[in-house]
Structure 1
């Protein structure tokens, strides 16, 4: 299935290509199956994009047993600069979800605002400098801001954090609530309030 050129970085062939490369460049070595699970893209599409990136000298693969692991090619003349571009443009969901994973009290996290609009196919007409992060829950603020600082450093972007009560999405009121809940968002994580 052919997708439109992504508004986050319109020089790429597809949003899918950008997200897959951003996830690879964001950190740990991943198998194509792990990439498919994290991005939600079909395995065949991930395999095809990884193959193209490997042929272009952007990534390398190695086998550990039967598992094929993909990582950025350390000998590529395009790294680390190209890696930073992919992570900055497409990496916020992956980097933030990873950073917030160990912060207790976060019931739901999502990106909203200009970046989320562009990521969901609603171009704003200009590059987005910062990220808007909504946290629903009762996190320890020190832990939250420490995690966000790590994500800011990895993404090279300032992150504006808004914390609201766990039920704010359903029960909140006011102009800010109405604006956020009626605009494009990118879900980062959500926990089951019943403990799951």
Structure 2
């Protein structure tokens, strides 16, 4: 099954290709096995293998084998690496960057919502100018805004956080909560922390 070109930036062959490139180019100091990447990106392994092979052949990624494992990393010596990284940071970077910067101790759930999430899920429209983030948990406001500032510096685009306690998230009388629950979201909650 071939995935469609992503609404966030339809110049990429597929959503899977863009996700793979974004992860590796935004983490150029690391190598990953194909199996780890498939799990992390929630992409079928065979699809990821095909995308990786194309990108290795183009010189955008590098691979090597270690025992039976195939390791992938970004080829930062490729002339297109820097501009491609910048493009991916502002288009697909929010999923990675928001997840990393909002990895706060008491964050029970972290969701990206609004226009960025809509484009991520394929809704056509203009490129998002900002990223809206909902953080559910009993957190200090300063910690959430510090995370937003760090994410904004990395992405080069405005990050707008809102906070709700777990009780507020469960309460269907909150109009923002209802709006978010009825709209496309991207869950970037750190693994093992999500609550209903």
Q: TM-score, length-normalised on structure 1?
A: 0.89
Which residue of 1 is the match for residue 151 of structure 2?
151
TM-aligned CA deviation for residue 93 of structure 1: 1.4
Classify 1:148/1:66 alpha carbon distance in 2 versus 1 (closer, same or farther; 3 Å): farther
TM-aligned CA deviation for residue 38 of structure 1: 1.0
* Partner Cα separation in structure 1 for residue 139 and residue 59 of structure 2: 42
Which residue of 1 is the match for residue 48 of structure 2?
46
* Partner Cα separation in structure 1 for residue 194 and residue 134 of structure 2: 17
TM-aligned CA deviation for residue 146 of structure 1: 2.6
Classify 1:147/1:63 alpha carbon distance in 2 versus 1 (closer, same or farther; 3 Å): farther
Structure 2 segments unaligned to the other structure (5+ residues): none
Which residue of 2 is the match for residue 95 of structure 1?
97
* Partner Cα separation in structure 1 for residue 115 and residue 75 of structure 2: 32
2:89 match: secondary structure: helix
Contact 1:93 1:188 in 2 (8 A): yes
1:80 match: secondary structure: helix
Classify 1:122/1:144 alpha carbon distance in 2 versus 1 (closer, same or farther; 3 Å): same
Which residue of 1 is the match for residue 108 of structure 2?
107
TM-aligned CA deviation for residue 135 of structure 1: 0.3
Classify 1:156/1:69 alpha carbon distance in 2 versus 1 (closer, same or farther; 3 Å): farther
Classify 1:146/1:65 alpha carbon distance in 2 versus 1 (closer, same or farther; 3 Å): farther
* Partner Cα separation in structure 2 for residue 187 and residue 120 of structure 1: 12
1:62 match: secondary structure: strand
Contact 1:23 1:87 in 2 (8 A): no
Contact 1:99 1:151 in 2 (8 A): yes
TM-aligned CA deviation for residue 192 of structure 1: 5.2
Contact 1:60 1:70 in 2 (8 A): yes
Structure 1 segments unaligned to the other structure (5+ residues): none
Contact 2:148 2:160 in 1 (8 A): no
TM-aligned CA deviation for residue 80 of structure 1: 0.6
1:189 match: secondary structure: coil
Q: TM-score, length-normalised on structure 2?
A: 0.89
Supply the RMSD in Å over aligned alpha carbons: 1.9
| Higher mean displacement: 18-27 or 105-114 | 18-27
Pick aligned residue for 1:35 from 15, 31, 37 = 37
Contact 2:144 2:161 in 1 (8 A): no
* Partner Cα separation in structure 1 for residue 26 and residue 176 of structure 2: 32
